[in-house]
Structure formats: C-alpha cells, structure tokens
Structure 1
Amino acid sequence: MRRVFFGLEVPFSVKQRLLAVQTDINGARWQGRHQLHLTLAFIGSVDDAGLETLRRAACRVTAPAFELRVQGLGVFGKPDHPRNLWAGISPEHPVIELHERLTDSLSGAGFAQEKRRFRPHITVSRFRRNAGSVASLLDAHGSTGFGAMAVTEFVLYESTPGAGGSVYTVLDRFPLTPSLDETDPSGQ
C-alpha cells in the first residue's frame, strides 16, 4: 500500500524565501525544502490497482494553466497556540477550481473526499502541543511576498514517513492546458 496525495510543486526560489522565515519556536516542526508543496487532494493508502484508478481519474481533469503569488503567513489555531503555520496564495480561485475538478473526477472513480472546506496554502511548519507563539512571525511576515509560481501541472505524490518528517516523492505529473499566450507567441 502507498500513502498518496495530489498537489502542486513549489519552485525552488519560493522555497528558499519560505525557509528563510524559520526561527527558534518551541514545538515547531519546520518543513524542509523537499516537503514544501500545496496539497490539492489527500487520498491516503491505496494498492496498485487503486493507484492506476487514481491516475486514470487525474488524466480526465482539464483545467487551464495559471500563475500564483505566494504571499503572507497565516496560522491554523491561535497565534499563541498554533497547529500549523502556512503561506498564503493569491489568487485562490484557480486553485480552488482545479481542486474541485480533481475531486469531482476522483469521486466519480470511487474515492471519498474530505468534508472540510478546502483552503489552499503551503504548510511551513507543524507544531506539537507545547507550541510557542508565532505572533511575531505573523506581524513580521503577514503580507510578505515570497514569489510567484507558474502552475502548468499538478502531481501525484507518495508520502513515506521518515526520521525528519515525511518524504514526498512525485509518482506522476498531469499537465494543465497551456494558456493562449503559451500556445501562440504571436497572440493570434
């Protein structure tokens, strides 16, 4: 069985800027460079047949390529007792639309989806119960721009537990439809 999810890769330049906000906070489990991503749909454990069904469902998803800005830090939980520190993205609409198209295709293939509302973000740190406050980080980086990312595909990741946190491996890539200016340089 493989533990898998769909997501968006984050470019190296954005990762470097996100990694630069790391500081000494009690209970923080900072994400490493190879762990930073944006989750579109968490699946869980699947066997080989399920993995092939996932691939076929993902191949049916059509959506246009788009650009995102990674901007600002936010928190799940309270700043004094955080559960997760995350970086926001803008605009959210194309990510939400891609998520909906993907989850519709996955549901049609028999994969149940999470009930909670989808909030696109990039997890920067997870926290243990004895977490320290992130209020100063939110004050310092609440609107910081971390860079842009061109989203031309989404990926199927495998998540493998490791000593330094989960290791994410790309199993497959699913291209999005190029925008008009990418397909015809003359704009006609």
Structure 2
Amino acid sequence: MPKLFFGLEIPETIKPDLLRVQKPVDGARWQNEQQLHLTLAFLGQVDEHRVALACDLARKVTAPPCELDVRGVGCFGSPDHPKILWAGVTPEQALSELQQSLAAQLISGGFKLKNQPFKPHITLSRFRARAGSVAAMLKAHENTAFGTLPVNDFVLFESTPRPEGSVYTVLERFVLAH
C-alpha cells in the first residue's frame, strides 16, 4: 500500500539556501535536497485501487496560480525541544485556498487527511526525542529570504521509506487554472 501526500515541489533555485540553514543540533534529521517540499494534504497509506480516485479528485481542484515568498524559520514544539524546524511561506492565504479546495475534494471522496489544521511550511529537519535547542537558529534566520516559490501546479507524491530517509516520487502533476 503506497504512502501518499499532495504537495508542492521546491524550485532548484532556492534549495541551496534552505540547506545552508543546517547546523549540528542534537537529534536533528535534516532533509536532503530531494526531500524538500511543502505538504498540502497527507493521505498516509492508501489502497492501490484508491490512488486513481485521489488523482480524479485532485483534477477538480479550483485555485489560481500564485507566488510565495519563502522567508524565515520557525519550529513546531518549543525552541528548546523542537519537533520540526521549518521555513515559512507568505502570503499564506492564497496557499490556504488551494489547500482547502484540495482538502474538500479529497474529503468528499472519503479520504481522511492527516495534517489538520493546515500550517504551510517547508520542513527542514525532524527531531528525535532528545532534541537540542534551535533558539539561536531561529534568531539567526528569523528574516532570512530564501527566494520565491511559484505555485503553478501541485503534485501527488509517493513516500518510500529508506534507511537514509524517505524518497519522494512524483506520481502525477496537477496544473492550476488561470
């Protein structure tokens, strides 16, 4: 059973700047260049016969293209005990409209979404239980501009676990209508 999620690909032009945030922090599992993405809707394990339905529903999404500014870093959890370190995106409203349209379609098709409520972000690192503090990193990068993320489409990713970290494969691309 594939593990699936819908998301945005990160342009190659901003990946190096996002990766430069990486510093030694206890418990950090840093994302590599191929793992950087922005999740719109996490489906988890999906029966093979329902993958086509997920794609059909995604084709019905109505949202205009937009452009996001990737700026600053934050964390889920406290800075002294982070769970996830992420880069932020603005404006959130345009992206939230895309996510809400996608979520509504998927829920109408009987899918249960795993990432509610939606907080748009690009995961930079996940942390194990004994995580070190990221407070200095948050302060150092609170206003760092990483670049622009044009949102002209979104994709369905399959996540395949590997010892060195998950590998994300694009199964289908969904172009946003102007």
Normalised by the shorter chain, which TM-score bucket?
over 0.9
Structure 2 runs not aligned, ≥5 long: none
Give matches, 1:1-188, under 5 Å. 1-114=1-114, 116-178=116-178
Letter of the aligned partner of 2:153 in structure 1? Answer: E
Runs of 4+ that moved beyond 6 A: none
Secondary structure of 1:71's counterpart equals: strand
Q: Normalised by the size of structure 2, how large is the TM-score?
A: 0.97
Partner Cα distance (2:97, 2:59) in 1: 16
User: Could you give the per-residue CA deviations for residues 19-47 of structure 1, whole angstroms, max 9, x where no partner exists?
Assistant: 01101111100000000000000001112
**Amino acid of the residue matched to residue 42 of structure 1?**
F
Deviations 1:67-108 (A, max 9, x none): 001000001111111110000000000111001000100011
Deviation of residue 114 (structure 1)?
3.7
Structure 1 portions without partners, runs of 5+ = 179-188
CA contact (8 A) 2:41 2:115 kept: no
Distance 2:115 2:24 in 1: 34
- TM-score of the aligned structures, taking structure 1 as reference length: 0.92
* Percentage identity across paired residues of the two chains: 53
Q: Compare CA radii of gyration and give the structure with the larger one.
A: 1
Aligned equivalents of 1:113, 1:31: Cα separation in 2: 23
Mapped partners of 1:155, 1:115: distance in 2:
16
1:175 partner letter = V
Q: Give me the whole-angstrom Cα distance separating, in 1, the residues matched to 2:164 and 2:79.
A: 24
Give 3-state SS (helix, strand or coil) of 2:35's partner.
Answer: coil
Letter of the structure 1 residue corresponding to residue 120 of structure 2: P
Q: Counterpart in 2 of 1:183?
A: none
- State the shift of 1:115 in Å: 7.0
SS class of match (1:172): strand
Q: How many residues align?
A: 178
